[in-house]
Amino acid sequence: MTQMETIARAQMYLEKLANGVNPLTDEEVGESDVINNVRISRCLFYASGILKQIVENKGKFKVERPDRKPFTITPEQLARFEYADYGISITEFTKRINTLIDTVHINELKSKVILEWLVEAGLLTNIIVNNKTRRRPTPQGESMGIFTEERSGQYGTYEGVFYSPKAQHFIVDNIGEIIASSNREKK
């Protein structure tokens, strides 16, 4: 039995249960049976509906999300930012920022936005390494607490760029300008 057939069978079982029918015998269950509880029945119909969408869409399920607004963050949210006591990657920094916002209604901040602003500000520069563009701190960036460090990853060693607590504070202090710069570029 394929995975789609298994999902289709599970959907059929849930739908029968939601309708108060034993899916194995096709007999109606007793009135006092737990699956006849309205809340349980509604939950079964809901789960059945999701599985039905997956089967109808050949294995894909799409959750409807409201239109999201461009990234914004309030001073109150920003005050909850958790600074690391050590150098972190821009990816880790961005994850920490995005935990502070409502990502259902607001687009997440992308690392690229911060990196482009840091290049504009003269703290990072673009260089070519093995035919790929890489960012490295400028002397001004190094004085701000941006540094490189050799690390080992699944593809071997690489030189990563990290942001000290001082650099993390600098980015947080300038997040309004970073967002404004990104919005200007989009227009």
* Domain interval for residue 171: 75-186
Q: Choose the most confident range, by mean pLDDT, from 3-7, 49-53, 63-67, 168-172.
A: 168-172
Residues 52, 79: one domain?
no
Please name the residues in contact with 126: beta carbons below 8 A apart, sequence gap of 6 or more. 119, 133, 134, 135
25 pLDDT band, cuts 50/70/90, is very high
DSSP state of 26: -
Output DSSP code: residue 67: P
Q: Looking at the structure, do residues 95 and 134 belong to the same domain, yes or no?
A: yes
Confidence (pLDDT) at 99? 95
Q: Is residue 26 part of a domain?
A: yes
Residues 113 and 160 in one domain: yes
61 or 16: which leads in pLDDT: 16
Q: What is the arithmetic mean of pLDDT over 143-152?
A: 94
| Domain-located, residue 22 | yes
DSSP 29: P
Query: How much is the mean pLDDT over the chain?
Result: 90
Q: How far apart are CA 155 and CA 165, in angstroms?
A: 28
pTM of the shown model = 0.65
- Look at residue 127 and tell me if it is in a domain: yes
For residues 34 and 95, state if they share a domain. no
